[in-house]
Amino acid sequence: MKTIALILVDDHPVVAHGLELALRQTPDIQLVACYGDPHRALAAIDSHPTDAIVLDLAFGGEVNLSAIGQCRKLAPAARIVAFSSLPARNYRPLALAEGADAFVPKDTDLPSLVHLIRTLCGGEDGPPPPSADRARNPSVPPIAEQIARLTRREAQIAAHLSRGDALATIASATGLSPNTVAAHRDNIRRKLGCRDTVHLVAMLATIFATRGPVS
């Protein structure tokens, strides 16, 4: 099992302490350090090999998206997860544009967060990133091609999911019931080979940020 070296950056003491305790009990994740100050974290990232960085986006009541780019510059190979209570619809595309690999809301359960980190880092307990899967098996189409094979309705719902829209919001926009939207979401997840909704939304956000919305 691959060991993932991770740095946690979050200035909320309760959230940071809870995550720190939980991550230290996860066998394949080595928590290198936990910081409440992005400047101290950057110094650590510059001096410690790091596979993953879980990064809050707000410090001292102010949004600091530039920290993502600074982390990316210091650790170009690291996977950066923006972990925030800020509205996903507004800040997911901004975080991805700054260089984050995924945006995860803070109300996400810990197993889903850990699974996403493993997936992004190509750990044994999660499916590899699409590019790695493609490299192992050329018959596996790129994930963007799989998106193109979705039905029109599925592609419409996938676009909403990529923006972090809730099921009720998607239902209102499409004229479907929340249960029907949930069924479409699960179909999309299965078609794209995602094991959970967190992984699906992170993948869709990255895809739609680069290829644009479905018309």
CATH number assigned to the domain comprising residue 146? 1.10.10.10
| Both tokens assigned to 100 | 């984050």
Residue where a domain terminates, one of 126, 152, 183: 126
Q: Among 57-61, 66-70, 118-122, 177-181, where is mean pLDDT lowest?
A: 57-61
Greater confidence (29 vs 137) lies with 29
Got the DSSP string for 103-155? Answer: EEETTS-HHHHHHHHHHHTT-TTSPPPHHHHHHH-TTSPPHHHHHHTS-HHHH
Residue 33 has pLDDT above 80, yes or no: yes
- 7 contact partners, CB below 8 Å, separation of at least 6: 31, 32, 33, 34, 35, 41, 44, 45, 48, 50, 52, 53, 54
Q: What is the pLDDT of residue 68?
A: 93
109 and 143 inside one domain: no
Q: Among 21-30, 116-125, 161-170, 204-213, where is mean pLDDT lowest?
A: 204-213
Percent helix, strand and coil across the chain, each rounded to 5?
55, 15, 35
20 and 105 inside one domain: yes
Instruction: Please state the rounded mean pLDDT for residues 159-168.
Output: 86
Confidence bin at 103 (pLDDT 50/70/90):
very high
Instruction: Please state the rounded mean pLDDT for residues 134-160.
Output: 65
Q: Among 2-11, 165-174, 194-203, where is mean pLDDT lowest?
A: 194-203
Q: What is the pLDDT of residue 169?
A: 92
Q: What is the Cα–Cα distance from 23 to 137, expressed in whole angstroms?
A: 32
Q: Among 58-72, 160-174, 196-210, where is mean pLDDT lowest?
A: 196-210
* Domain tally, the chain: 2
CA 97-170-177 angle, 5° bins: 160
Q: What is the Cα–Cα distance from 15 to 83, expressed in whole angstroms?
A: 11
Residue where a domain terminates, one of 75, 109, 126: 126
87 and 35 inside one domain: yes
Q: What is the pLDDT of residue 112?
A: 85
Greater confidence (186 vs 90) lies with 186
Per cent of the chain over pLDDT 90 is 29
| Both tokens assigned to 59 | 């410090």
Greater confidence (70 vs 148) lies with 70
Q: Among 44-48, 59-63, 180-184, 211-215, where is mean pLDDT lowest?
A: 211-215
Q: What is the pLDDT of residue 182?
A: 94
8 and 77 inside one domain: yes
90 and 162 inside one domain: no
Confidence bin at 147 (pLDDT 50/70/90):
low
The residue range of the domain holding 8 is 4-126
**pTM for the complete prediction?**
0.58
